[in-house]
Amino acid sequence: MPGVPSAAGGGQLLPVTPALGAVTAVLLLAAVAVAGWGRLGHGHAVLRAGLRAVVQLAAVALVIAWVVDSLWWSALFVLLMFTVAVRTAGRRMVPDRGRAWLWAAAPIGAGVLPVLVLLLGSGLLPEKGLSVIPVAGILIGGALTATSLSGRRALDELRQRHGEVEAALALGFEERDARMEICRTAAATSLVPALDQTRTVGLVTLPGAFVGMLLGGASPVQAGAVQLFVLVALLAVESTAVVVVLELVGRGLVRADGPSASVPGGRER
C-alpha cells in the first residue's frame, strides 16, 4: 500500500522478530535508568510496569484468541477490563482508603456505557467479540485516565486550599458548592491530553486506529473517519468521567485524608 513502510509488510506496523524483543528490552532498561538517575522516584515503578506489561499482554493475547468467538465470553472479558480500570483509577484517587476506590465505577461507567449502548444499538458496532473488545478497551482506557487525573487533582487542590474552602463556607456557600468552586479548574485540566491529541491528530501523531486500519487495507478516508469517531468518543467519555468525579468529590463521597477532610463544627467534607 502506498505510504506504508515496506518493513510493515504483511499487515504489521513493525516486524515481530528477536530484534524487536531486544530493542524493547533496551528501551525499558533505558527508561528505568533515566527515571532513576533523574531522581523522579519511579525507577522501580517503570521496571515493574514494563515487566507486568509483558506478562499481561502475553496472557491477554491467549485469552482474546479464545473468547472472541463468543459474545458472552467477550462481554465477561470487557467486564474484567472495567473492574481492573475501576480498581486502578480508584486507588489513584484515594490510596489506602479501604473500599473508597469502588466509587471510581461511577465515572468510568457513566462515560463508557452510553457510548457502547449507542454503538451497539445503532448497529455501527458489530456484535462480535473481535469488534466489541478493542472498542470497549479504548473507551475504558480513556475513562480510567480521566478519572485518575481529575480525582487526584481535585483532591490535591482541596487539600492545599482547604482554607479557601472554609472561607467559602463562612460566606454562606453550601459545602458542595464550596468544594466545587475550588477544585473544578484543577480537575478540568485532566482533559488537556485528550484535547491536545484531538487538536494535533494528523499533524503530530497518527493514532493507532488510523494506522491499524491502513495496514488492514482500509482507504485513508475510511481510516480517518473511524479515527475521528474514536477521538470524539473519547472526548465525550472523558468529559463525562470528569464531571462525575467532580460531583463525587463535591458531595464528599470521595475524600482525601488531611486538613480538607473535615470542617469546623465536625461536618465532613
CA distance 112 to 142: 9
Q: What's this model's pTM, rounded to 2 decimal places? A: 0.80
pLDDT at 8: 41
Using a 10 angstrom Cβ sphere, with 0-12 exposed, 13-18 middle and 19 or more buried, the burial of residue 137 is middle
Of 3-7, 112-116, 128-132, the range with the highest mean pLDDT is: 112-116
Q: Angle formed by the axes of helices 71-93 and 129-160, to 10°?
A: 10
CA distance 161 to 259: 9
The tens digit of pLDDT for each residue in 26-71 reads 999 998 888 877 667 777 888 999 999 989 888 888 888 788 888 8
Percent of the chain's residues with pLDDT above 70: 88
What's the maximum distance between 2 C-alpha atoms anywhere in the chain?
A: 70
